[in-house]
A = this chain, B = another copy of it.
Amino acid sequence: MRLPDTFYTTVRARLNEALAEQELDGFLATAPADVAFLSGFFYIATERPVYLWMPRQGDPLLVIPRLDEEYAAQQGVRISTVSYFEYPGVVSAEETLALALSGRRTRRIGVSAGISVGTLEKLSRAVGGTRLVTTDAVARLRLCKFPEEIPLHEAAARICDEMLAAGRDLIAEALAAGTALPREDEIARHVIGYGTDRMYAEYDLVVYTTKLAGGLVYAGPNSALPHGLPTRRRIQPGDTLILSLGAAVASRFVESERTFVVGEPTAEQQRYHEADREAQQVGTEAMVVGRTCAEVNRTCLDVLRGHGLGDYIRHRQGHGIGLQNHEPPWVEDGDDTVLAPGMLLSSEPGVYVPGHAGYRISDTVLVTADGPRRLTGFPRDLESTIIEGVR
């Protein structure tokens, strides 16, 4: 799951341009996704700090806990590495970093605004004389995906679409066999297990920052709560069912979400499903270079409002996707980011009718000079998402 060296070389060159502009001597990465992006080192985030020093001049340096040393080597990380023994440590991670940087030019160092106040204080004490300033240099670099990252997102999209099919088939098979339909938690376990298995089957050394595959599964009234967890509720004939699934290859995320109906849809289900599908279609087509996130979001949600469903909106159209499953930009009224080629966005308007059900359809969409391109492709229309015993 390691990206080609060209990727890291290009990223470094682009980072250096930003550092020069901002008169920074280097960037100190402290978040797992930033470290993975800049170095290709993936690790389980704990209280043990990992610091990646990316200087404008000279060699990068990775500071990791002793227990990750062999793991970093196994991943083929080529950056020279020093380790501290443990957290909190008699000699801390910050002191280890400061010692390793002594003699290097570190007058003014950039850090991400996501760094904690406590960590910033510890670093400031350790690297006395150095000024630590927040910068969006790396966040901006991650806004538009690099060509080498796209195949990973595409691979994750294929797996994510297959997870949807696996969930649908589990129910269809129970219907055909006339056995009890599965529960929400059983479906969740089945599809997440399916996605994880596929990941292990396809890749030699599986790595991630947060997870390989995940998902929310809710049906009937439960599906009206966008962030509720799966329950033990058994699927019922007539249910509306949302499978809200995600997968990541080398921590390059996608999401693929569909709303199914078990059996013949009622007029009410048809109305909500069709309105959401239309909003998703219009909103996805609006993801065009040069428009702002706020404009696209408005175009999308206006379709729902036009259908008189404004009271059932609970969230924005979408969000950026990359090394995190949610990251900037935000396809929302409050984000004026202008869409550019390489941005990867979820397009996932939802309709949530309390006591009845929720409807959400999501694709992962790549913004290109030629227009929006969906990486996820599971059918969206109601006809294709009806689950019946005979397929």
Contact = CB atoms under 8 A, between A and B. Distances in A.
A43 interface: yes
A319 to B, nearest CB: 8
Interface in A184-221: 185, 189, 193, 196-197, 200-201, 205-208
A331 to B, nearest CB: 10
B330 A87 contact: yes
A209 to B, nearest CB: 11
B117 A115 contact: yes
A335 interface: yes
B189 A334 contact: no
This chain's copy number in the assembly: 2
Given A89-B334, A193-B193, A206-B231, A224 B70 contact: yes
A225 B117 contact: no
Nearest to A330: B88
Interface centre among A88, A196, A327, A354 (most CB of B within 10 A): A88
A23 interface: no
A111 B118 CA distance: 11
Given A207-B229, A225-B71, A66 B333 contact: no
B114 A116 contact: yes
Interface in A25-41: none
A117 B121 contact: no
B44 A227 contact: yes
How big is the A interface, by class?
35 or more
Interface in A3-46: 43-44, 46
A314 interface: yes
A231 B115 CA distance: 32
A89 B333 contact: yes
A117 B88 contact: no
Interface in A100-126: 111, 113-118, 120-121
A200 B185 contact: yes
Contact of A196 (B66, B189, B197): B189
A201 B232 contact: yes
A326 interface: yes
A74 interface: yes
A225 B42 CA distance: 14
Interface centre among A65, A86, A114 (most CB of B within 10 A): A86
Interface in A127-174: 134
A90 interface: yes
B86 A228 contact: no
Nearest to A229: B206
A40 B88 CA distance: 29
A134 B118 CA distance: 9
Contact of A117 (B74, B120, B319): B120
A74 B229 CA distance: 11
Contacts of A118: 113-114, 134
A112 B352 CA distance: 35
B231 A326 contact: no
Interface centre among A227, A326, A327 (most CB of B within 10 A): A227
A67 interface: yes
B196 A70 contact: no
Nearest to A134: B117
A114 B232 CA distance: 35
A89 B332 contact: yes
Contact of A88 (B86, B183, B327, B334): B334
A92 interface: yes
A238 interface: no
8 contacts: A47-B326, A86-B332, A90-B333, A90-B334, A113-B118, A113-B121, A201-B232, A206-B231
